[in-house]
Amino acid sequence: MFSKDTKEAISLMMDVYNDRHSDAIILLTKYYFEVDEVIESTLSSFDEEKLTLTVRTESENILKDIKFKTEPLNSNEAAAYLLECLDQARKKAPKNVPKTRIELEIERNKNLKTYFTSVSGTKKISSNIVEISFKNGLDDLPDIKNDAFLFFIIPKFKKDKFPEGFSMSNYRAMVGKEDQKFFGAYYTIKKFKENEIYVWFVLHEHPGPLADWASNVQVGDTVAVWGPRTSFQPPKNTTNYLFIADETAQPAILASIKNLSHREKYICIFETQDTHSQYQYDLGNGHIEWIYRDSDKPGGGKKLMNRINELDIDIKDLYIFGAGEGKQMSNIRKLLKKKYPLRSNQMTLTGYWRKTK
């Protein structure tokens, strides 16, 4: 039986696939389920045995099931079944059918490397953000700019060293095992220098391994990082930006703004706890509007959503980019899609973390 938490995670995963990977869902419907003339296909429901797609064709609506061999333990395992069907669909598809966004992403990820570096300093940015710098071991790390993010892996105990030849695939193989010795999460490169990076870690209630590590970090502590990747992809003619973020995605936005030319207009709607977690930031022509959660918990409350709802947005040549708690971002995505005729490439709003308590 799925727990409430697993149900929420699978539901969010389906939202993401419907929103960002509709090309993959269509490919799978056409060549795995062999449905012709698909007008629309979406992941519509799930239970312990299957994910169900609702497929709209010229003549009817059909339901198609992706059956699980065993009940998935989490959303990643449920997504793995979907990707397996996509793989089989690709084998059956004619050679000239273009690769979908997720297939291209998977291909790119195969070439990413794991680097080992160590903490060179820390600085307090606000009541809940600490900047940690990492130096050495990063000579080959490419500067891909914008929201470049890395998967950070830390040892459970400081005494544990990374085994010789350790890489992201070793990490993946140990996740969820009882004797898991290393833990990881994604973080953004706020500032890139030669052989050195600066990262803003959010410190939060109920810290997981990474936030806990960041609050006790010491110069010399070693981490492994895998990447870098990016998801900031504005259409070519973009002249206006709307950035939406809680603390976790503010580094991604501030790093991306650095690469905009002075001709572009932008506004940042930044959610934070209160005036203590707000920081001074000189953004030249653009500006930051701060939304305080005050008594609401991170990922909770409606203040950010209500503010977005109040905005009168001109969508011409606009790109909306941002991230925060998964459910919060999913609701904002749905609101914006309902209110404005946005093209799918005009919005990248991502769940960077998921509220579980």
The answer to whether 206 contacts ligand FAD (rule: CB under 6 A) is yes
The answer to whether 204 contacts ligand FAD (rule: CB under 6 A) is yes
CB of 147 to ligand FAD, least distance (A): 7
The residue from 185, 267, 283, 335 that contacts ligand FAD (CB under 6 A) is 185
Looking up tokens 């990492």, which residue turns up?
Answer: 134
Nearer to ligand FAD among residue 24 and residue 202 (C-beta): 202
Nearer to ligand FAD among residue 103 and residue 271 (C-beta): 271
**Sign for the pseudo-dihedral over CA of 161, 164, 167, 170:** negative
CB of 236 to ligand FAD, least distance (A): 23
Q: Given the rule CB under 6 A, which of 14-22, 116-124, 308-316, 347-355 is the region that contacts ligand FAD?
A: 347-355
The answer to whether 192 contacts ligand FAD (rule: CB under 6 A) is no
Q: Given the rule CB under 6 A, which of 90-98, 199-207, 262-270, 314-322 is the region that contacts ligand FAD?
A: 199-207
Q: Using alpha carbons only, give the angle 141, 142, 143 rounded to the nearest 5 degrees.
A: 120
Rounded CA-CA distance 146/340 in Å is 26
Starting from the edge strand earliest in sequence, which strands make up the sheet with 61-67, in order?
38-46, 50-57, 61-67
The residue from 209, 238, 279, 335 that contacts ligand FAD (CB under 6 A) is 209
Instruction: Tell me the pairing of strands 318-325 and 240-245.
Output: parallel
The residue from 145, 181, 327, 355 that contacts ligand FAD (CB under 6 A) is 355
CB of 247 to ligand FAD, least distance (A): 6
C-alpha distance from residue 145 to each of 60, 135, 148 (Å):
46, 18, 6
Nearer to ligand FAD among residue 303 and residue 354 (C-beta): 354
CB of 152 to ligand FAD, least distance (A): 8
Q: Given the rule CB under 6 A, which of 82-90, 170-178, 179-187, 305-313 is the region that contacts ligand FAD?
A: 179-187
The answer to whether 137 contacts ligand FAD (rule: CB under 6 A) is no
Interacting positions 144-163 with ligand FAD (CB under 6 A): 149
Residue closest to 190 by CA, chosen among 199, 182, 181: 199
The answer to whether 200 contacts ligand FAD (rule: CB under 6 A) is yes
C-alpha distance from residue 129 to each of 30, 123, 244, 264, 326 (Å):
47, 9, 18, 28, 20
CB of 58 to ligand FAD, least distance (A): 39
Q: Given the rule CB under 6 A, which of 6-14, 112-120, 182-190, 312-320 is the region that contacts ligand FAD?
A: 182-190
Residue closest to 109 by CA, chosen among 173, 169, 23: 169
Interacting positions 13-32 with ligand FAD (CB under 6 A): none
Nearer to ligand FAD among residue 30 and residue 293 (C-beta): 293
Interacting positions 241-300 with ligand FAD (CB under 6 A): 248, 251, 298
Q: Using alpha carbons only, give the angle 125, 270, 195 rounded to the nearest 5 degrees.
A: 45
Binding site for ligand FAD (CB under 6 A): 149, 185-188, 200-202, 204, 206-211, 248, 251, 298, 352-357
